[in-house]
Amino acid sequence: MTEMDNKIHALLAFLCAAGIILGIAGDAIFKLLGWAQ
């Protein structure tokens, strides 16, 4: 593991977490607006 590998690992983990949060937000908005059919 180089310093770069560590950075890439952190970036991927961060993006995955951000994706989940974005997904939850999107889901909440779609359900609130009644688009979730």
Partner 1 sequence: MQFAAVNKLIFFILAVLSGGLSARLACRRLNFTEWIYLWAVSFAATMTAAGALAFKYGLSTYEIMLVFGFLSIVLLYLYFNNRKNFEREPLALNPAGLLLLLILAGSAVLRILLMWNTEFPLGDDSYFHCLYARSIQQAGRLIYSMAPYNPLPLKYPWGLHVMLAWASGMTGIPIHSVFKGALIAYSVVSVLGVFVAARRITGSYSAALWSAFLYGLVVNFGSIDYIRWGGLSNVFSMAALLALALLALKKDEGVRTGWMWPVFVLITAFLVHGSAAAVLYAVLASFAVVLFLRGGKGISDGLFHLVTIAVSIGAGAIVAPDIFSHLVNLGGVAGVFEEKYVGVMDFPLIFSIIPAAAAAAGFVILSRRPRQAHFPLFAWTLTLLAGFIASRYGAGLVNYIRSGSAICAFVPSRFVTDMAYPISIFAGAAFAWGFGKLGAVENRLLRWAVAAAVLALCLHIPFQHLHDKWGQTYAGPEEIRAMDWLAANAPQDSLIVNKTDAPGSYWVAYRSGRPTTITSFPQLFHLDFTNAERERNFVQAGMKLNHLVFQSRDWNLLGAALWYFPYSSIYVYSNGPIGVPWAKLAFRTKTIYIYQIKGGQ
Chain residues 1-37 in contact with partner 1, contact rule CB under 8 A: 1-2, 4-6, 8-10, 12-13, 15-17, 19-20, 22-24, 26-31, 35-37
Least CB distance to partner 1 at residue 3 (A) = 11
What are the φ/ψ torsions at residue 2 (nearest 5 degrees)? Answer: -95, 175
Mark out the alpha helices in the chain (DSSP H runs). 3-33
Residues that bind partner 1 (CB under 8 A): 1-2, 4-6, 8-10, 12-13, 15-17, 19-20, 22-24, 26-31, 35-37
